[in-house]
Amino acid sequence: MHLAQLLASAMHRRHLSVEALALATGIRTPRIKAFLEDGTDGPVHPTAQELKELADTLALPAESMTQDAHHGLAAAGQRS
């Protein structure tokens, strides 16, 4: 599952808006919106700390978020 899908699904399950997730994690709202829209395919890439914050807040396994992000970044590097 891509990062964008993983975030959207977890946010829906926990009834969290982008703004609520931003408040809970300390990650700026525009960055979270970018992760939801583009996942790791867009110009804004999540940092390791941001992935950890998102995983902790959404009760997701950090390993799955990190793996997905690394796969997405590797694919983006191959397209360049």
41 band by pLDDT with thresholds 50, 70 and 90: confident
Mean pLDDT, the chain, rounded, equals: 85
34 touches 3 (CB < 8 A): no
Mean pLDDT of 43-53: 92
**pTM, 2 dp:** 0.78
Q: State yes or no: pLDDT of 48 exceeds 50.
A: yes
State pLDDT tens for residues 15-38.
999 999 999 999 999 999 999 999
